[in-house]
């Protein structure tokens, strides 16, 4: 049973990490047109060797890439040349990232479900 | 048949091997997007396995307490690295391989439980309590 409990918590940690990633993707897409917004991402780390092996998420990181320069002289933030700094969010990248997060989330969910079935079958031995 | 009940030992060893393998696959899947993570697998199940010294001994503090059976020690298995091409970030987990392994583990576990249940049915029949 101990291994099953480990499996549950590892799969749950995977789902938690992917959900957090998806949350930041949503934030990036929502702020794609916010002037001066830098894309946020969270790094994944494998847990220490002596632990069960859950995945951990690190601190939020801001993308250091150049902010895009948008030409719009009527914008209130436009400088003397008629440009203002937009965000450095790339929607294609965000969509691809969200697809990958979804795929990994589903894989973790499947592992959780299968572990539940296996431990259920084990407990069924006691039931009869 | 009754000295040792090897069938039950074997079935429970196989079931616990499947459980350990399940934890291993869950770890690989959870770390499928972790940079630099290397996928690991458990060595295949074998009848002999490897026994480790028990970390917890059963205490006998009263005369009526049972002694630990000789095969109380849990069978241990080695982990080995799973081959596979690494992604650009150094991760070697392939979700497809892990899903395949997960299906196999489920079958192994079901097989072990079926063998255990079969043994129980046999014993019940011997005792004259069919069903």
Provide the β-strand partners of residue A71. Answer: A83
The domain tally of chain A equals: 1
Give how far B97 is from chain A: nearest CA, Å: 12
pLDDT at B3: 53
Residue A103 lies in a domain: yes
Residue A89 lies in a domain: yes
A18 pLDDT band, cuts 50/70/90, is very high
In terms of C-beta density within 10 A (0-12 exposed, 13-18 middle, 19 or more buried), how is residue A38 classed? middle
Q: Which residues of B touch A1 (CB under 8 A)?
A: 19
pTM, whole model, 2 decimals?
Answer: 0.79
Residue A68 lies in a domain: yes
Residue A65 has pLDDT above 70, yes or no: yes
How much is the ipTM here? 0.83
B130 three-class SS: coil
Residue B131 has pLDDT above 60, yes or no: no
A38 three-class SS: coil
Residue A128 lies in a domain: no
Residue A122 lies in a domain: no
Residue A124 lies in a domain: no
Q: Which of A2-6, A28-32, B76-80, B124-128 has the lowest mean pLDDT?
A: B76-80
Q: Give the residue on B whose Cα is nearest the Cα of A105.
A: B30
Q: Say how many CA atoms lie within 13 Å of B120 toward its Cβ.
A: 13
Q: Give the residue on B whose Cα is nearest the Cα of A124.
A: B113
* DSSP annotation string for B13-82: HHHHHHHHHHHHHHHHHHTTTSTT---EEEPPP-SS-EE---SSPPP--STTSPPPPGGGSPEE--EEEP
Q: Say how many CA atoms lie within 13 Å of A32 toward its Cβ.
A: 11
Residue A69 lies in a domain: yes
Contact B23 A11 (CB under 8 A): no
Mean pLDDT, residues B92-109: 93
> A-contacting residues of B 56-85, CB under 8 Å?
none
Q: Give the residue on B whose Cα is nearest the Cα of A102.
A: B33
| pLDDT more than 90, % of chain A | 71
Residue A123 lies in a domain: no
Cβ–Cβ contact A99 with B under 8 A:
no
Contact between B111 and B49 (Cβ < 8 Å): no
Q: Which residues of A touch B27 (CB under 8 A)?
A: 10, 52-54
pLDDT at A59: 93
Q: List C-alpha distances in Å: B89 to A45, A92, B32.
A: 12, 20, 11
Q: Which residues of A touch B99 (CB under 8 A)?
A: 107, 110
B30-59 pLDDT per residue, tens: 999 999 888 888 888 877 654 443 344 566
Of A45, A46, A115, Cβ closest to residue B26 = A115
Residue with tokens 């440009």: A83
Provide the β-strand partners of residue B79. Answer: B42
**Domain limits for position A66:** 2-115
Contact between A54 and A9 (Cβ < 8 Å): yes
Contact between B76 and B51 (Cβ < 8 Å): yes
Mean pLDDT, residues B6-20: 88
């Amino acid at each position: 049973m101990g291994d099953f409990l480990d499996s549950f918590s590892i799969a749950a940690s995977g789902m938690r990490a992917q959900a957090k990633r998806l949350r930041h993707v949503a934030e990036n897409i929502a702020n794609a047109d916010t002037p001066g917004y830098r894309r946020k991402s969270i790094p994944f780390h494998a847990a220490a060797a002596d632990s069960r092996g859950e995945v951990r998420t690190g601190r939020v990181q801001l993308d250091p890439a150049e902010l895009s320069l948008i030409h719009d002289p009527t914008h209130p933030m436009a400088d003397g040349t008629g440009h203002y700094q937009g965000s450095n969010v790339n929607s294609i990248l965000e969509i691809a990232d969200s697809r990958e997060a979804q795929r990994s989330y589903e894989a973790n969910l499947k592992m959780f479900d299968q572990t539940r079935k296996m431990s259920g079958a084990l407990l069924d031995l006691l039931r009869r | 048949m009754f000295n040792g009940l090897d069938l039950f030992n074997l079935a429970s060893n196989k079931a616990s091997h499947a459980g350990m393998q399940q934890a291993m696959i869950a770890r690989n899947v959870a770390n499928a997007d972790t940079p630099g993570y290397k996928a690991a697998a458990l060595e295949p199940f074998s009848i002999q396995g490897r026994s480790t010294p028990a970390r917890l001994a059963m205490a006998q503090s009263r005369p009526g307490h049972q002694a630990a059976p000789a095969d109380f020690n849990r069978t241990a298995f080695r982990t080995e690295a799973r081959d596979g091409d690494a992604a650009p970030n150094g991760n070697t987990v392939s979700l497809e391989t892990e899903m395949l392994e997960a299906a196999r583990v489920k079958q192994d576990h079901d097989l072990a439980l079926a063998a255990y249940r079969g043994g129980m049915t046999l014993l019940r029949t011997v005792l004259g309590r069919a069903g």
